[in-house]
Amino acid sequence: MVKKEMSMKEHSQIQGVYDEGYSKFLDCDKVFRLKKVIKILKGLNCIADAHNDTEDSLRLLDVGCGDGSFTLEMSRALGRRWELYGVDISKNAAELANSHGIRATSLNTDFECTPYPDGYFNLIYCGSLIELVLNPDKLIEELRRIISPKGYIVFTYPNHTAWLSRIAVLLGRLPYYYRVSTKYEMGKLGGGAIASQSTGFIRLFTPNAFLNLMSLNNFMVFKVLGAREHAVPKLLYPIDYLMQFFPSLAFQNIVVVKKK
């Protein structure tokens, strides 16, 4: 009972944060991770077309769609044959996404299942969400249920062991994405304590741990890529550019999987 009450309390806090600050990617050209995702989707679209001999359209689900801005960017990359769906914890975000022509619904993946039948989607995008949920196992199991046998799931997540995080730990500071407080940002390189409205990341992954989790859930890994972090100081851009070619050191990881 106590554990359930704590989970609901955490959920309430997360819900409040995302009702006010759901994701908006009006200029995804400035976010390196998203630019790389678009390139990947264009390649996956060709694969999906080759497998799609009978269906008139294909279905994409954006998990954590926010207001739908990036969902629309993906639509432009994929083409008109794709029907767009979305889910988000924020009711305000889901309503905005619907106003943009996306079939979006509001739900909490920690406690609710999606309203879709088994194998319904040809492509699922789960971008920088898995680190924000209380129960990633439930999320992964649900995504596996609703992806088609020939479909692909694209995950992105922040790498807990990125190159600058490793340096920070050696200097006695917190890793780049780690947070010890839900109210303050502190303990990082080059800064003191500052107030923050974000709850921070709940689950942080290393590339090895994430790939192990995929294997345990009977997924085959199709592609693993690193990506740069747009918030890194520009002085460090040259180093971060090189580190993106090594997923274990890159700030962001992009992983494409399909059912075994």
Residue 93 three-state SS? helix
b/e map 107-118, b = 16+ CB within 10 Å? eebbeeebebee
How far is the C-alpha of 178 from the C-alpha of 77, rounded, in Å? 33
pLDDT at residue 4, rounded to an integer: 47
What does the pLDDT read at residue 1? 46
Per residue in 116-152, pLDDT (tens digit) is 999 999 999 999 999 988 899 999 999 999 999 999 9
pLDDT at 40 over 80: yes
pLDDT given for residue 20 in this prediction: 59
Q: Give the pair of three-digit tokens for residue 142.
A: 């649900």
Q: So what's the pLDDT on residue 153?
A: 97
- Residue 55 pLDDT more than 60? no
The whole-number pLDDT of residue 52 equals: 57
Taking the model in full, what pTM does it have? 0.89
- 81 φ, ψ (degrees, to nearest 5): -70, -10
Q: Which whole number is the average pLDDT over 4-22?
A: 54
List the one residue out of 158, 141, 163 whose CA is nearest residue 214. Answer: 141
* Residue 151 token pair: 């479909």
Burial tier of 158 (Cβ tally within 10 Å: 0-12, 13-18, 19+): buried
Q: Which CATH architecture has domain 2-157+202-235+252-259?
A: 3-Layer(aba) Sandwich (3.40)
Instruction: Tell me the angle at which helices 136-146 and 207-216 cross, rounded to the nearest 10 degrees.
Output: 50
Give pLDDT, residue 12.
54
Instruction: List pLDDT tens digits, range 213-251.
Output: 999 999 999 999 999 998 888 999 999 999 999 999 999
Task: Say whether pLDDT at 156 is over 90.
Answer: yes
pLDDT tens by residue, 58-84: 999 999 999 999 999 999 898 878 999
Within 10 Å of residue 131's Cβ, how many Cβ atoms? 18
Contact yes or no for 124/153 (Cβ under 8 A): yes
